[in-house]
Amino acid sequence: MDATPQVLAVLDGLLASAAPEERGALWHLAEQGRELDANVVRLPPGAEVGEHQEDALDVLLVVLAGSGRLRTGGGEVLDLAPTTVTWLPRTSRRSLEAGPEGLAYLTVHRRRPGLAITPAVREPAREGGEAPCMLDLVCPECGRLSADRAPAFCSACGEPFPKR
C-alpha cells in the first residue's frame, strides 16, 4: 500500500460536471488497503432514499450542496443544508428527502468487512468425532475468538455478531 497522501477528487468540479437529473454515487473511495469507505451521492429535486437501517456501521453524512430533510426512526425531522454534518449511529433508522434544488452529500464510514462463510444451522454436539466448529464465535470484523458461547458483541472491537 502506498502511504503517500494524495488528492482524490475536487468536489466542486465533480458536482458541477454532474447532469442535473443524475442520481446516485458520483464518486467513491476505491484505493487499495483502505480502512474507510466514502461516497459522494447526489439526489435530484424531490428524490428520496427510503427508510432503512444500517446495523453494522456508524455513518458520517456531510451535506455538500442543495438541501433536504433527514427523518429519523423516531419521527424527528432534521433540516439539511450545505456544511451540515450529521452522525448516523449504527442501528438507527432514517430516510432522506432532497429539497427543491436537490441534495449532494458525502458519506464516510469504516470499510465493511469482507464476506465470510458462517454456518447456517448449528448441529447438536455428538460424542466423539471432530472438534466442534467455532467459526460462529469468530468476530467477522477483527477475527478474534469470543470466550462467550453466544456473543452479541465482540469484546475486543465492539462489532455485533450475526444473529443466530
- What tens digit of pLDDT does each residue of 116-156 get? 566 666 555 555 444 556 677 777 777 777 777 777 777 66
What pTM was computed for the model? 0.67
CATH of the domain at 16: 2.60.120.10
At a CB cut-off of 8 Å and minimum separation 6, what does 101 contact? Answer: 45, 65, 66, 67
- Are residue 102 and residue 119 in the same domain, yes or no? no
Residue 11 CA to residue 34 CA, distance in Å, equals 20
Percent of the chain with pLDDT over 70: 83
- Are residue 93 and residue 142 in the same domain, yes or no? no
- Are residue 50 and residue 79 in the same domain, yes or no? yes
- Are residue 119 and residue 160 in the same domain, yes or no? yes
Domains in the chain, number? 2
Residue 136, domain member (yes or no):
yes
Q: Please say which residue of 94, 110, 126 terminates a domain.
A: 110
Beta bridge partners of 85: 62
- Are residue 26 and residue 83 in the same domain, yes or no? yes
- Are residue 72 and residue 50 in the same domain, yes or no? yes
- Are residue 21 and residue 74 in the same domain, yes or no? yes
Q: Can you spell out the DSSP letters for 55-71?
A: SS--EEEEEEEEEEEEE
Residue 44 CA to residue 96 CA, distance in Å, equals 12
Q: Which three cell numbers stand for residue 81?
A: 443544508
Q: Please say which residue of 110, 132, 156 terminates a domain.
A: 110
pLDDT in tens, 6-17: 899 999 999 999
Beta bridge partners of 63: 105
Residue 101 domain boundaries: 11-110
Q: Give the model's pLDDT for residue 62.
A: 97
Residue 136 CA to residue 112 CA, distance in Å, equals 18
Residue 5, domain member (yes or no):
no
